[in-house]
Structure 1
Amino acid sequence: MPELPEVETTRRGIDPVITGKTLRRLVVRESRMRWPIPDDLPALLSERTVLECARRGKYLLLRFEHGTQIVHLGMSGSLRNVLAGDIPLKHDHVDWVFDHAILRLHDPRRFGAVLWHPENDGPIMSHPLLAKLGIEPFDPRFDGAWLHQQFRGRSIAIKQALLAGSAVVGVGNIYASESLFRAGIDPRTPASRVSRARCTRLADCVRATLGDALASGGSTLRDYVSATGQPGSYFEIHAAVYERDGRPCRVCGTPIRRLVQGQRATYYCPSCQRR
């Protein structure tokens, strides 16, 4: 699944292309996404100007004067800048057509979303998909004290607590495994048992891991490409534990182990990471 660095990389790629530009038309070839694309959305957005291209967690937010479009890339989606003559592929479901650019949503599994939040329905952050999201990892308020408070009384495993998104957003499966490795925390540790000092270390490692991924354009997922059509390169080269089960830890040489938590694969070093 595209995670925060992939979505932020996409946002940075499309922001200078669409912000301040008039959307001539929205072309919907397939409306059956995770939630149906509203039938009247093309008419609502035709000849409207994009005022801002923002992000909250893994959601892209395209703000217009009369509302905000919420775009989610789902499990394997991508949003790319294509040429006017590029013929849509089988899973190219939506186009945003501007004078000098076309953004195209490619989503083979159709787990993504293209939704609309009218201005008169209140602030965009009140939308049900956004209202309960946790703090952003690069928010100055995100630190060990914040995590320790959020984890208080929670008996679920620390990796599951990170993935839940209520304490901090954007730490998906890949980056949770990598952050916990950097912090030296066993992913099975109950969240409430992680001390404030270790929470401080974990918060620092979450920021560092996501920052490194952003600097390198996101992780290399089989289905992921950036807004320019280029694949990321970070985990192809630098992953410490993710998808390295059976191979030696880059720090101590102990074989990396794999386990399943909440139907998601977790990778960790049994020597470097402690409960």
Structure 2
Amino acid sequence: MKNELKLALVQSPIIWEQPALNRDYFSSKIATLKNAVDVIVLPEMFTTGFTMSPENLDAKEGGITLTWMQEKAKELNTAICGSIVFSERGLYFNRLFFVTPKGEVHQYNKRHTFTLAGENEKYQAGKQHLILDYKGFKMNLMICYDLRFPVWSRNTVDYDVLLYVANWPKPRIEAWDTLLKARAIENMSYCIGVNRVGRDEKGLEYVGHSAVYDSLGQQLVFSEKEEILEIILDKAHIIQTRDNLKFLYDRDNFELIGIN
């Protein structure tokens, strides 16, 4: 079992509905990494911005981006994750991919589509968690609005890392900060949020606040500008905290109804 997991969190602007330009941008961005990392994390809908017009995109773009992720993961010998607009069977998904250097693909469809923006009218909601083991760390991967729903993220399987990719705008950024910290404390896990910066075509401003919190809610990294944040997660921290403070043993038992 590996005791450390090195991550690079890419906080960046996104070019509106221009997948090819965004792929080029992120290629140049991650090429600046000076240290080897285990996982590179990109924001939500990193090739388009938070568009509610998926029909404007070529249906093949999702597959092209997935291939790009596989190529970059192999080239850099690191896993890459982030969410994109994905078209399948004539339906649209806000789909997070986690791609390993060996080309393995794991995916998660956003469970809580953002009704305030009409995401529920354009994209299909997911029904299954994505919890995977990677280099000795059990990870639970989610997307943006999922952060507001603690039942969906409740740590019933003893995961080590809870990760959210997002396009979370400035007017509600205090909620983002507060909920990331709360999810870390209540689940006794690392909690990571990777947001974007800049403005989108709808006039919304994004101020980042990408951050990592440990299992006691201590903020380890934080940023409000365009940059790549690097962080090393320590498995011993999780083990020691849970051994000393057995709060997860007292958690409520429940069953989600209507979820396959």
* Same fold flag (TM > 0.5): no
Larger radius of gyration: 1
Task: Give TM-score, length-normalised by structure 2.
Answer: 0.31
Task: Give TM-score, length-normalised by structure 1.
Answer: 0.30
In proportion to residue count, which structure has more strand?
Answer: 2
